[in-house]
Structures are given as structure tokens and as C-alpha cells.
Amino acid sequence: MADARTAKTSNARIWLAGGWLLVALLATIFAPLLAPQDPLAQDLLYERLPPFWMQGAEPGFWLGTDSLGRDLLSRIIYGGRVAFLVAFAAAAAACIVGSALGLAAGYFGGWTDRVVSRIVDIWMAFPPVLFAILLVAVLGTGLSSVIIAIAVIDWTRFCRVVRAEAMGQARMDYVESARIAGFGRFDIMLKEVLPNVLPAIVALLSLEMGIAVIVEAILSFVNLSISTDDPTWGGIIAEGRLSIHQAWWVLVFPLVTLFLTVLSFSQFGEGLKARFDPVLR
């Protein structure tokens, strides 16, 4: 009964979170078709128009406009392009580097583990957000700089988790059986240990995508993300903060979108882990 309840909960997480992420991703991919207006078009005659259900709304501006008369819904949709691109690219880079080092440290142990662990300890001594801001300031603003900064900072998260998982798996009987059967150490690590660590990596990868979205939003909030006029969620939030008393919707709607996206990444990863982790099953 408990197992069936756990399976239903994990399936609900996967479907609800995955559904939101799929809708948001498709909206960003087909932004030219779905966005009702040009996200960069300014018209001061339409400044701070309210959403469609409020008095004073204009047709075609479903979520209202900002202080420059730009359509808010269109800017949120196009801003998702930057968020998802950073999420996928930065999380993938951090996952590859951190998982490879963590897997080697946890399985081989000895001097490999000591060296990797010391590097991780030194790396994690820096506050992550401040470190990201420093890296972007050094590398220069731009999408590639943001992706590099997030990957350079967050590989340690994968390394620590994968190291702990690999260390536990290395003590299992199936690993000893593979050694007795004559398998090499690299074969055992890649063919026996890695598949059992993979559910944790997938869950962490999904969580890292949400973290990357937050970090990109913070950087764009302080004007350290992309250097063009293209909309970003953090940039829209920064604009909305200045006009919260006159146009609350400019702040609230991108914040809600950011919150739901980050929450969905987290819950999607947890649902996948509960669904496919052989230990939990």
C-alpha cells in the first residue's frame, strides 16, 4: 500500500511538473508564433496598461504593459528563452564535470578521493552567488559568461553527491562479484556503479536546472546577464520593482513564472528519482 502511494505521488510530481516545463519550453521555442506583440516594441501611449480582466485594459495586451508600453506577456515568453538555454547548458556542463570527478573519487578512493575532496572544499569556501557575479564581471556580460560562471560554481554539488553515492555502491556485493568475475575497475565503475548512481544524477540535474534559472535571474536583475535589450525574467522583475505601486503586474507575473519553473524543475527531479531509483522501488 505504501509503495503504491509513493508511486502515485511520484507520478503526480512528474506529470504536473513536467507538464508545466513542457508548456513553458514550447512557448519559448514557438515564441514568434505565440507572443501577441513584439517584446521590444515601445509605445508610451500604452504604458502600464493593466491585465485583460481589469478596467482600462486594451485588447491584445493580455497581462498588461510595463512603464515603456511593452507587452508583458510577450516579454515573459521571450525571457524564457534565456532562462531555459542557461538551465540546460550550464546544468549539463556542471553535471558532466562534477559527476565524472565524483564518480572517480567515490569509487577509487585513496589519493584520488583526497585530491578531489580538497579541491571541492576550497571551491565551496566561496559564496556561490558572489562568486558568480565576480566571474561574470571578469569574463564580461553575455550568455556564454553566465553559463560558464554557473558551471564553474555548481560542479561541486554534483561531485559531492555522486561521490557519496558511488562510495556506497562500491561496498555492495554486486561490485565484489564483478571483481571476482574478472571485470576491470573501469568496467565496473561504468557498467555497474554508474547505472545505480544515475537516478541521483538525474534528480540533481533537474534541481540544478532550477538553480541555474535562479542564478541567471539574479545576474540579469543586477544587469550582469546578456548585454542586449532582449528580455530576461530577472530584468523584467527589476523593472517591475521600480513601478510596483503603479503597475504591480509587471513584478508579480514574472515572479510567479520564475517560481513555478524552479519548483517544477525540483519536483520533476524528485519524481524521477522516486520512480526509477532501484533502492526506493
| 11-37 pLDDT, tens digit each | 788 899 999 999 999 999 999 999 999
Cell (9 digits) for 245: 505601486
**Do residues 178 and 263 touch, judged by C-beta distance below 8 A?**
no
- All 3 cell numbers of residue 212? 541555474
Compute the average pLDDT of residues 61-74. 93
SS3 258: helix
Query: CA distances (Å), 192 to each of 106, 185, 254, in order?
Result: 14, 10, 44
Residue 204 counted as domain residue? yes
The C-alpha angle with vertex 274 and arms to 268 and 279, in degrees rounded to 5, equals 150
What is the arithmetic mean of pLDDT over 53-62? 90
The CA distances from residue 46 to 37, 240, 241, 245, in Å, are: 12, 16, 19, 17
- What's the domain count of the chain? 1
In a domain, 185, yes or no: yes
Domain range spanning residue 251?
2-276
At residue 173, φ and ψ (nearest 5 deg) are -65, -30
CB neighbours (10 Å) of residue 216? 31
H helix or E strand, kind and range, residue 142: none
Residue 184: band (very low, low, confident or very high) from pLDDT cuts 50, 70, 90: confident
- Note whether residue 218 is domain-resident: yes
Q: Is 252 exposed, middle or buried (0-12, 13-18, 19+ CB in 10 A)?
A: middle
157 CA to centre of own chain: 13
Closest to 86 (Cα-Cα) out of 234, 252, 194:
234
Residue 7 inside a domain? The answer is yes
Share of the chain above pLDDT 70, in %: 94
Among 33-37, 195-199, 233-237, 249-253, which stretch is predicted with the lowest mean pLDDT? 195-199
In a domain, 281, yes or no: no
Give the per-residue pLDDT at 14.
Answer: 86
Residues 214, 226: Cα–Cα separation, whole Å: 15
**What is the spatial distance between Cα 225 and Cα 242, in angstroms, rounded to a whole number?**
19
Cα gap 154→203, rounded to integer Å: 15
Mean pLDDT of 245-252: 92
Residue 115 falls inside a structural domain: yes
Predicted confidence (pLDDT) at residue 78 exceeds the cutoff of 90: yes
Instruction: Assess if residue 161 is contained within a domain.
Output: yes
Q: The CATH number of the domain where 24 resides is what?
A: 1.10.3720.10
The pLDDT, as a whole number, for residue 185 is 81
Assign 3 a pLDDT band (cuts: 50, 70, 90).
low
Of 178 and 66, the one with more pLDDT = 66
Instruction: Give the pLDDT of residue 8.
Output: 65
Q: What is the mean pLDDT of residues 128-136?
A: 80
Which among 8, 74, 86, 12 is positioned nearest to 43, based on CA atoms? 74
pLDDT of residue 172: 83
For 190-231, how does the pLDDT look when each residue is reduced to its tens digit (9 = 90+)? 888 888 888 889 889 999 999 999 989 988 888 888 766 789
Give the pLDDT confidence score for residue 7 in this predicted structure: 59
Distance CA 234, CA 213 (A): 9
First to last CA, the chain: 13
Q: Which amino acid is present at 71?
A: D
User: What is the overall mean pLDDT for the chain?
Assistant: 87
